[in-house]
Amino acid sequence: MTASLPVHDQYDDPDHRPGGELPGGVHLDSTAQIMNRISTRLAGRLSLLARDRTPRPTPPVLVLVAHGSRDPRALATVRTLAERIRELRPGLSVRLGHIELDEPLLPDTLAALGEESAVLVPLLLSRGHHVKRDIPEAAAAVPARTRVAPPLGPHPLLVATLHARLLEAGWHAGTSGAGRARSAVVLAAAGSRDPDAALDTGRTAELLADRLGVPVVPAYASAAAPTVADAVRSLNARGRHRVAVAPYFTAPGRFATECARAAPGLAAAPLGAHPLMARLVLHRYDRTAATAAGTERALSSA
């Protein structure tokens, strides 16, 4: 039994409203961020007990659904992300399944669940064929009780991660009007023929533009236009000659590498296993698990 949830929660995390700053900013070594991490771990441990200190029911397994890549850095990245999630949520069973190219493959991971309940969180950034068809069909083919969470994007935590990666790469548009008038960013995504994917990527570009104060133009490695090179030329024609590329990929791979090579100058790293990505995965998991629990209670009381 499987169900999918629509993407309607871009701003449903009260700590990440549009226009607001993340607690402690993006500098993860700040006191505020350290305290937030300690609080998160403590909350994870306390959540294992009910108010009367009896054990709570076992939470659903979290299945991270990665695309898979021939680049070995991709598998290393998603494994690191899984470890960061386990650190944030001790006691939560976190497993990994790939759509293709890497092992374990998703059908094998799901088959190993038996009749356990699980929430599948796609490590994908927009809606498309994998999110709409491949993942739900794989979940429906096994006896495990599953729910499929929305893709990771769009969401303010993704925008914060993109911003952090740009800063790590040396991004600085300057505070003067002249400096910003010369600057822009290309948001380089994989691309899809599904129009919903373009809508989701475009929304992320809008949110990142609001955060940076400069234009952000989506571009694609395949299946959609414009390419990164075309987007850069278009921005140059508008007087934007300081153009950075922000790879919109969850892990390194061929497309991410090709997009970075097309950058005229600065290119950030992919989103990767940034700590904010671990928080976003848990956010998707929690909301989906809570919705599933509410549905089951409603059915049992009907």
pLDDT digits over 186-234, tens only?
999 999 999 999 999 999 999 999 999 999 999 999 999 999 999 999 9
Give dist(CA 296, CA 302) in Å, integer. 10
Q: Residue 70: what are its φ and ψ, rounded to 5°?
A: -75, -15
**Distance in angstroms (rounded) separating the CA atoms of residues 220 and 191:** 5
0.85 exceeded by the pTM? Answer: no
Tell me: the pLDDT tens digits for 133-178? 999 999 999 999 999 999 999 999 999 999 999 999 999 866 678 8
What is the torsion angle, in degrees rounded to the nearest 10, for the CA atoms of residue 273, residue 18, residue 191 and residue 150? 70
Q: Identify the three-state secondary structure at position 181.
A: helix
Band (pLDDT 50/70/90 cuts) for residue 112 is very high
Reduced to 3 states (helix: H, G, I; strand: E, B; else coil), residue 136 is helix
Residues in CB range of 15: below 8 A, 6 or more apart = 22, 23
Task: Please say if the pLDDT value at position 38 is more than 60.
Answer: no
Cα Rg of the chain (Å, integer): 20
User: What is the rounded average pLDDT for all residues in the chain?
Assistant: 86
* Nearest in space to 110 (alpha carbons), one of 86, 91, 132, 136: 136
Q: What is the pLDDT of residues 52-79, one digit of tens each?
A: 565 667 899 999 999 999 999 999 999 9
Amino acid 13: pLDDT: 47
Q: Looking at the predicted structure, is the pLDDT value of residue 47 above 80? A: no
| Cβ contact 141:193 at 8 Å | no
What pLDDT sits at residue 32?
A: 47
Side chain identity, residue 92 = L
Q: Does residue 16 carry a catalytic annotation?
A: no
Q: Which of 16, 67, 163, 283 is catalytic?
A: 67
At 76, list the tokens. 């290393």
Band (pLDDT 50/70/90 cuts) for residue 27 is very low
Contact 226, 219 (CB under 8 A): yes
